[in-house]
């Protein structure tokens, strides 16, 4: 089971959920997880990934505590994925 922690600014898309679990097949990639997220909450992937399939500049993704930018990486079956959004203000 892959556990995903979601940033506050995406809670409107998830019905207020801060985290969710996804049962992905062995060998699944971060891209597969993002597709599963988008299937559960349509449009959410676009808030994380840009039109060129890159992680948006203001988003950081951590897999098992390591920052990643490549959505093609393979996830361990019990991976924890944390999506973090940059804060800004003026």
The model's pTM is: 0.90
Q: How far apart are CA 60 and CA 48, in angstroms?
A: 9
CATH code of 68's domain: 3.10.20.30
What confidence tens digit (pLDDT) does each residue in 4-44 have? 999 988 898 999 999 999 999 999 999 999 999 999 999 99
Q: Which of 2-6, 64-68, 75-79 has the lowest mean pLDDT?
A: 75-79
Tell me if 18 sits within 8 A of 11, measured CB to CB: yes
Number of domains the chain contains: 1
Main-chain phi, psi angles of 23, to 5 degrees: -95, 100
Asked, for residue 90, whether it belongs to a domain, the answer is no
Domain assignment of residue 15, yes or no: yes
């Amino acid at each position: 089971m892959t556990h995903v922690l979601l940033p506050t600014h995406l809670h409107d898309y998830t019905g207020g959920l801060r985290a969710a679990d996804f049962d992905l097949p062995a060998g699944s990639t971060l891209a597969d997880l993002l597709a599963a997220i988008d299937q559960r909450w349509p449009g959410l992937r676009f808030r994380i990934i840009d039109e060129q399939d890159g992680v948006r500049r203001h988003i950081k993704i951590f897999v098992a505590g390591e920052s990643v930018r490549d959505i093609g990486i393979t996830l361990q079956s019990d991976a924890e994925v944390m999506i973090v959004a940059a804060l800004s203000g003026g």
